Amino acid sequence: MELLVFGHAGQRVLVFPTRQGRFYDYENWRQVEAVGDFIEAGTIQLFCLDSVDSESLYCSQRSPRERIVRHCQYEAYVLEEVTPFTASRNATAELVVHGCSIGAYHAVNIALRHPELFSKVVAFSGRYDLTRPAGAFPDLFCGYYDQDIYFHTPNHFLPELNDNSILAHIKRLAITITIGEHDIFRESSCELSRLLTEKHISHKFLIWGGEAHRARCWRHMARLYLANGV
């Protein structure tokens, strides 16, 4: 799979694309430009990932079981191939996950599942329960549910997460979540924030005016929270 690297030093940032997005979208939407001074200064280094959403979560030609299996394979790719690659390019221990829209889901999901690997999560305009319809956006698994879907749905597995060692790693994360006041996924983001609070997990939850589910808003958010954030 292809990816793009921007920068030479600083926090390693895995950037997940939006729905069925590509590794070059973050650059094309001028989000790389928005944090360009932080990149040049060696504060952050971006690793912009490709996705398999068209083969997994959004592949209507495959059964729901096949979709979640393909999604699990994508997570394995990120953990077993991308993460070691980033370490070979940059020795810093700081590993950040970041994304917008479904990219925010990918970032939050992998960080809460493997918190020992990461230092920071920055998620914009995300949806954290893919089994629940939201406006025109359907249940991505068409009513099907199994253990893998449960363990890849932050708003489902977090309430039952009682392993103190895992929770200790999660509580060490610097977490920033944003959502627009009129975003169709606001309820999902609010629920995630509530669940984090119930687990005594410190995080920043910020509600922006309007829908704020677009690149021009994400550019502003990136400047505020990606390099300058918690």
Tens-digit pLDDT profile for residues 17-35:
999 999 999 999 999 999 9
Considering the chain, what is the average pLDDT of its residues? 96
Q: Bridge partners of 134?
A: 137
pLDDT tens string 190-199? 999 999 999 9
* pLDDT at residue 230, as a whole number: 38
pTM across the whole model: 0.97
What is the distance between the alpha carbons of residues 79 and 142, in angstroms, rounded to a whole number?
28
Burial class (CB in 10 A: 0-12, 13-18, 19+), 94: middle
Task: Record the tokens describing residue 198, joined without a space.
Answer: 């119930």
The whole-number pLDDT of residue 227 equals 81
Question: What does the pLDDT average to over 53-66?
Answer: 96
**127 three-class SS:** coil
d(CA 104, CA 138): 18
Q: Six-digit token pair at 17?
A: 């694309």
pLDDT at position 108: 98
Query: Stretch 1-25: mean pLDDT, rounded?
Result: 97
Which residues contact residue 82 at a Cβ distance below 8 angstroms, ignoring those fewer than 6 apart? 3, 14, 47, 49
Residue 114 confidence (pLDDT):
98
pLDDT tens figures, 143-192: 999 999 999 999 999 999 999 999 999 999 999 999 999 999 999 999 99
Sign of the alpha-carbon dihedral angle for 78, 81, 86, 91: positive
Handedness of CA 79, 98, 203, 156 (dihedral sign): negative
- The DSSP element (H or E) to which 15 belongs, if any, is strand 11-16
Q: Write the pLDDT tens digit of every residue in 117-130.
A: 999 999 999 999 99
Domains of the chain in start order, with CATH, are 3-226 (3.40.50.1820)
Q: How many CB atoms lie within 10 A of CB 192?
A: 28
Residue 173: CA count within 13 A, CB half-sphere:
32
What's the angle, vertex CA 123, arms to CA 201 and CA 141, rounded to 5? 95
pLDDT at 136 over 70: yes
Mean pLDDT of 65-94: 97
